[in-house]
A and B are shown apart, each in its own frame.
Chain A
C-alpha cells in the first residue's frame, strides 16, 4: 500500500493525511492547492485547534451524523449506545485512541488503526450476515 503523507492547502491551511492532497480543497475550494509538508509543520498548524470529542453526547451526535443517508442507523437502544461511547472514551484515556470496545488491540499500530470507531465495518463478515457492525453500534434500517 502506498504510504500516506501530510498535505497542506496553501490557501486556507487545511491539513490532509493521505497518499495525495485533494484536487479541490473541501474548505476553501482552491484547486490544486495541496503541498506536501512534514509532521512538525502540520502539528503547528493544527495543535489544540480541533474540537475535542471527549463527551458521550458529542460522540452520539457525531455518530448520528455519520449514519445519515446510509443503509444503517445508530442502534435505537440508547443505553447500549451510551455504554459503547463510555467505553471508547475510556479506551481513549487509557490506550490513546477511541478503539472499539468489542475488540482488543494487537499492539501493532498499523493493524490497530483499523479498530478506531467508526471502523470500516462494511467489510466485516458479521455486517454482511446481519447488517450490524461487530458491536451493534450501527444496525440496519428496517
Chain B
C-alpha cells in the first residue's frame, strides 16, 4: 500500500459507466508503474464509502477545476504534485504523465 500523502489516487463510483470503462486502463498503468519500481494507483470508490468521499472532498478545489465545476468521477489525483485529471476522455498517456511528473 502506498503511503498517505504521496499516493496517486483513482476516484471512481460503482454505478458510473465511464468509471467502469476507465478501470482497465487504470489497472494497466498501475501495473506498469509497479513493474518500473514505483508505486501503483490507489483505487477508492466514493459513493459507498464515506471515508473515501471525505478524502475526495478534501481535494475538492483541484478536482472541481479539473472536472469543470463539480466533483466528478472518474478522476485521478496525485497527492504529491496536487494535480488532477477528470472525466471519461482521460487517456493512458495522461495518467502516466500525471504519475511521473
Contacts and interface: CB of A to CB of B under 8 A. Distances in A.
A84 B60 contact: no
A15 B71 CA distance: 32
A102 B68 contact: no
Interface size class of A (residues with CB under 8 A): 20 to 34
Interface residues of B, number: 25
B88 A87 contact: no
A136 B53 contact: no
Nearest to A132: B88
Interface string A81-113: 001101110110011000001111111000100
Interface string B45-72: 0111000010011001000000111111
A136 B13 contact: no
A28 B23 CA distance: 51
A134 interface: yes
Interface stretch (B14-22, B35-43, B77-85, B90-98): B14-22
Contacts of B60: 106
A129 to B, nearest CB: 9
Contact of A102 (B53, B69, B73): B73
Contacts of A135: 16-18
Given A125-B68, A126-B68, A102 B18 contact: yes
Interface in A50-104: 80, 83-84, 86-88, 90-91, 94-95, 101-104
B15 A83 contact: yes
A115 interface: yes
A38 interface: no
Contacts of B48: 94
27 contacts: A83-B20, A86-B15, A87-B13, A87-B14, A87-B16, A87-B47, A88-B15, A90-B47, A101-B16, A102-B18, A102-B19, A103-B67, A103-B73, A104-B13, A104-B47, A104-B56, A104-B57, A104-B73, A105-B53, A106-B57, A106-B60, A124-B68, A124-B69, A126-B87, A134-B87, A136-B17, A136-B18
